[in-house]
Homo-oligomer: A and B are copies of this chain.
Amino acid sequence: MDKVIDHGQVAEHNAKLQQNLDADYAALGSILARRGQDIEQLTAKAQTFAVALPSWGVGTGGTRFARFPGKGEPRDVMEKLEDCAVIHQLTQATPTVSLHFPWDKSSDPAAMREFASKHGLGFDTVNSNTFQDQANQEQTYKFGSLTANAKAVREQAVAHNIECIELGRALGSKGLTVWVGDGANFPGQHNLRGALERYLDSMRDIYKALPADWLMYIEHKLFEPAFYATTIADWGTSYACANELGPKAKCLVDLGHHAPNTNIEMIVARLAQFGKLGGFHFNDSKYGDDDLDSGSINPFQLFLIFNELADVAQRDGDAFKPSYMLDQSHNVTDPIESLMSSAIEVQRSFVQSALVDRKALSAYQENNDVLLAAQTLKQAFRTDVSPILAMARARSGAAIDPVACYRATGYREKQATLRPPKAGASGSGIV
């Protein structure tokens, strides 16, 4: 397969680090062996991990106050795919890309498929956008899209979603993620129930257009851009709607879309129990939908989510295949570096959750031995599995230290030359 980064550069990078990695790996292996755990199994498991990249994540994000673009940002979907290929090449953990329409609408989908396939990339779920007005759009979404009072607006929004399905189909996607910012800024602006009734009507029309092997992911969010009431504000609403819509409708959990103090891993458990856990938008946050790098603020929470996923997997087995995606806004870092690091952080939680002795945990729970139950999770969490992750990369042909390798290649500087910023470009959007 072609690679964006020269394969030799990765090999050279790895060669320098391999010896130390081998030693660290052996040391960790011996520690794990004394606990009765087999490092090789864990490494094999790490190699199976995959999380999708958001096409919009490779551009620099921003806030309502400002956006501070970086050098060499991708200017179209092909350049975004190129950056995604780098990330996957250096991590081997991100084999799919999630597109956002109309941002990523291309006049040449065949070229996209060809490029993607050449670089080992596939296409994950597609995302519709009815939270912005596009140039030359008939109806405005200022007062809502799928929930708008005006029928013409709702029809336009439904048609856009159906077009997204068609665009995704052409690329091999198997799912549609629907996030709408629809809501009210004032008490009284909306009839709260009426808005949800219209939402369900619109979603039923989209649901009907889903191909047989597609799923539809409903994404809830507490607030922003609506600041008083958001129509799909919480998992309860998402779940009730997914129930109304049918078996192809699932709930998507974005880690930053909840009220303060919410126990997110319990929401994961609930959705799994009731058969509606669709997948994740991974990121981290301290205040609201901050869209920070996964695991950067509360890594234990990320682990606890994967601990729930391990529980579901044990219970439901192969039937359980949630969709994983990174959804972050990179305001002060190189997006490629953040996405590589974040994919690895999610993978870290995945591997750590495999360290949990579920049989012992169950026994402690059964006996109300609260302290040892808690310590069973903590011990798994505090195990530093970095050598496992690095070895998994090395064995898969990725970089032992992806950020260092990436910097060494000079990729960003090269793009700074090849991709001069467009005049007036205000960035690639943020979800």
Instruction: Please report A residues at the B interface, Cβ cutoff 8 Å.
Output: 20, 23-24, 27-28, 30-31, 34, 62-66, 68, 131-133, 140-143, 149, 181, 184-194, 196-197, 222-225, 227-229, 233-237, 239-240, 258-263, 265-267, 269-270, 272-274, 285-288, 290-293, 295-301, 304, 307-308, 311-312, 315, 331-334, 337-338, 341, 361-362, 364-368, 370-378, 381-384, 386, 403, 424, 426, 429-431
- Minimum Cβ distance to chain B for residue A217 (Å): 17
Pairwise interchain contact B225-A63, C-beta atoms closer than 8 A: yes
- Please give, as numbers and ranges, the residues of chain B lying within 8 Å of A366 by CB-CB distance: 149
Contact check: which of B132, B193, B263, B367 meets A272 at CB < 8 Å?
A: B193
Do A193 and B403 touch across chains, with their CB atoms under 8 A apart?
no
Contacts of A304 in B (CB 8 A): 187
Question: Known: A188-B376, A259-B259, A332-B143. Contact between A273 and B196, CB under 8 A?
Answer: yes
Known: A233-B266, A298-B300. A374 touches B225 (CB 8 A): no
Chain B: which residue is nearest A288 at the CB level?
B288
| CB of A191, distance to nearest CB on chain B (Å) | 6
Q: How many copies of this chain? A: 4
A-B contact pairs, 10 of them (CB 8 A): A186-B333, A189-B374, A223-B261, A227-B285, A228-B263, A234-B236, A259-B260, A296-B378, A299-B381, A341-B371
B residues near A315, Cβ cutoff 8 Å: 193
User: Chain B contacts of A28 at CB under 8 A?
Assistant: 27, 31
Question: What chain B residues lie within 8 Å of A367 (beta carbons)?
Answer: 149
A369 to B392, CA, bound (A): 27
Given A65-B181, A228-B292, A292-B185, verify A193-B300 contact (CB < 8 Å). Answer: no
For A27, A229, A304, which residue has the most chain B Cβ atoms within 10 angstroms? A27
- For the complex of A and B, 10 pairs with smallest distance between CB atoms: A236-B236, A259-B259, A68-B142, A227-B290, A192-B269, A186-B374, A27-B27, A260-B260, A63-B225, A188-B377
Contact of A331 among B27, B225, B272, B290 (CB under 8 A): B225
- Min CB gap A267→B, angstroms: 8
Contacts of A334 in B (CB 8 A): 371
In the complex, A312→B194 CA distance in Å? 11
Q: Across the interface, do B233 and A263 meet the contact criterion of CB distance under 8 Å?
A: yes
For A223, the closest partner residue in chain B by CB is: B287
Across-interface contacts of A297 in B (CB, < 8 A): 187, 228, 300
Is the pair B332, A185 in contact by a Cβ cutoff of 8 Å? yes
Asked whether, in the complex, the Cβ of A65 is within 8 Å of the Cβ of B225, the reply is yes
Residues of B within 8 A of A65 (CB): 131-132, 181, 224-225, 429-431
* Cα-based distance from A388 to B285 in the complex (angstroms): 32
The docked-state distance in angstroms from the alpha carbon of A187 to that of B24 is 26
CA distance A331 to B368 in the complex (A): 12
Q: Are A227 and B292 in contact (CB under 8 A)?
A: yes
For residue A388, give the distance in angstroms from its CB to the closest CB of chain B: 12
Residues on the B chain within 8 Å of A236, using CB: 234-237, 239-240, 267, 270
| Distance between Cα atoms of A65 and B361 in the complex (Å) | 28
Which one of A31, A334, A367 has the highest number of Cβ atoms from chain B below 10 Å of its Cβ? Answer: A31
List, in ascending order, chain B residues with CB within 8 A of A382's CB.
299, 382, 384, 386
Cβ-defined contact, B286 with A223, below 8 A: yes
By the criterion CB–CB under 8 Å, are B68 and A133 in contact? yes
Which of A197, A222, A368 has the most B CB atoms < 10 Å from its CB? A368
Closest CB-CB distance, A100 to chain B, in whole Å? 12
Most chain B beta carbons < 10 A, residue from A189, A233, A239: A189
User: If the complex has contacts A65-B225, A192-B266, are A187 and B308 also in contact, measured as CB distance less than 8 A?
Assistant: no
CA distance A298 to B263 in the complex (A): 12
A341 touches B375 (CB 8 A): yes
Query: Which of B34, B185, B293, B298 touches A24 (beta carbons < 8 Å)?
Result: B34
